Structures are given as C-alpha cells and as structure tokens.
Amino acid sequence: MFRSALSSKAGRVIGSAVLAVVTAFAAIHVVNADSPKTAADYAADPKAMLDAYRHVEAASVSDAVEQLLHEKHYMSHRMQSIFPTKFAGTALTVKLVKEENHDPDALSGMLKAIDTGGPGSVYVMTVEDGADIAGMGGLMGTAMFSRDFAGAVIDGGVRDLPQLKKIGFPVYATGVVPSTSVSHYRFGGMNVPVMCDGQKVMPNDIIVADQDGVVVVPREHAADVLVLAQKLDNSEHSMYSYIEKYHSIVEAVKQFGRI
C-alpha cells in the first residue's frame, strides 16, 4: 500500500511537471507567433517574406523603397492592369528584340521561359519599341495560369482580354492591341536584366502590384523594405479611423507622422 501511494504521488508530480512544461512551451509558442517578424526573419524565410508582400499595399512598398534607398522603383501611369488586381511574386524576366524574320523558332525561347516558371513567378517582359505590339495574349496567359504564376507585367501590348479575364489571370501592360509579335520580333534572353517601363528589373526581384500600380523591390533589400512597408501600412490604416473620429487630417498627421 505504501509503494502504491508513493507511486501515485510520484505520478501526480511527474504529471504536473509535464503539464507545466507543455504550458510553458505553448506560452512561448504563442508569444513567438504574435511577435512581428524582423528583417532577419524574412531574409531567412523567403516564402514567408513573399506571402507577407501579398498583404501590403504597393504605395507603402514604394514609399519604403524611396525612404530606404532614396530611389524611385515604381512604374509609370502607362502600366495598367486589365482588371483590378493585387499580387506579389518574383520576377522571371524576358526580352524581345525587334527584328523582321521568317524564323519559326524566333520566339520559342519566350515560350520555354514560361515552362521554367512556377508558383509565385511574375512574367516580366520588355518588348523593344512595343507599344503597339502584343507581347502576350490568351495562350501564354493560360499557360502561366496553369503553372500558378502570380501575374505578368508587359512593357508592351497585350491581347485576348476575354480569355485572360475569363481565367482571371492578372496582367499589367502599357496598352491593349490586337497585333502579334510573330515574324516581327526575336527572343532576346531569359532571366537577364531588363528595363521595364523605365525601371530596371533583375531576375528574382520582388514585384508588387495592385490598383495603385507596379513596384520593383531589389531582392537584396526586400526584407528591410517589407518591414518598413508593414509599419507604413499599419500607421496609415490607423489614421483612417482617427480621421473619421476627430474629423481632422492635420491632427492625424501630427499624431502618426505620415501622409
């Protein structure tokens, strides 16, 4: 009986100890989960960084880039989406050069580039002197959609809007035209530096797009830009309710230091 009582007591002590450890671990886990991620956290976890970029506004990202790098990395008003959208992803760059030809393989590299991309890719294409040339259309968009690309940004034209809108594949372009690049252009390279609507884009740079436009984030600064963009987002969103309550944007700017 003494041994049984002792065993029962020991079991309760061990059980209490285990419960305490589990509770402590859970508490630590909750604290860690609620703690905002740092730039170092994001740099160590690119997937989490890209997911976080999908939840910040392009305007805040643009402001963060300008404050940190003292440079402008947004595309012009000419770059427009075919329907309201929001996405973020990593740049897969493609270049088309102007050249009249009868080569059936002149643009094969443009198509092969699509098959190298996957979830989260953003097809960033520059079409030399291509304002009135469709750099992509429904077939290419359907292929990107089937491979879970985040979207496409074309410094040139786009066509086949009914198909692109039907499948819901987001595309930014400098115009909508019915023309073709076939026989007029040649593939000039994949995953090379390109100038897209005046902005330099390197392979794997972060592309952030929403109804305000398109922003290019240099990959080496992506984590720092994200953390600042999140802070700018939070302060601006807090200002909305403050302005609605106190009916003063002047006081809101004094309170939050952002406009």
What pTM does this model have? 0.82
123 and 136 in contact (C-beta within 8 Å)? yes
DSSP H helical ranges for the chain: 2-34, 39-44, 46-53, 58-69, 108-116, 138-146, 161-167, 222-246, 249-256
Average pLDDT over every residue of 16-26: 42
Q: How many Å is the maximal CA-CA distance in the chain?
A: 99
> Between these two residues, 51 and 28, which has the higher pLDDT value?
51
- Identify the band that residue 4 occupies on the pLDDT scale cut at 50, 70 and 90: very low
Under 8 Å CB-to-CB from 206, ≥6 apart: which residues? 50, 53, 88, 89, 90, 91, 216, 217, 219, 222
Average pLDDT over every residue of 167-184: 97
d(CA 77, CA 62): 14
CB atoms within 10 A of CB 68: 14
54 and 210 in contact (C-beta within 8 Å)? no
Give the tens place of pLDDT for each residue, 5-16.
444 444 444 445
239 and 256 in contact (C-beta within 8 Å)? yes
Cα dihedral sign for 40, 57, 128, 115?
positive
Short-list 205, 215, 232, CA closest to 75: 215
Q: Considering the chain, what is the average pLDDT of its residues?
A: 87
Tell me 122's DSSP state: E
> Between these two residues, 254 and 134, which has the higher pLDDT value?
134
Short-list 68, 45, 98, CA closest to 228: 68
Give the tens place of pLDDT for each residue, 210-238.
999 999 999 999 999 999 999 998 877 66
Under 8 Å CB-to-CB from 65, ≥6 apart: which residues? 71, 72, 73, 74, 215, 217, 221, 225
pLDDT score for 238: 64
CA-to-CA dists, residue 50 to 43, 183, 200, angstroms: 10, 37, 20
Short-list 145, 140, 148, 144, CA closest to 108: 140
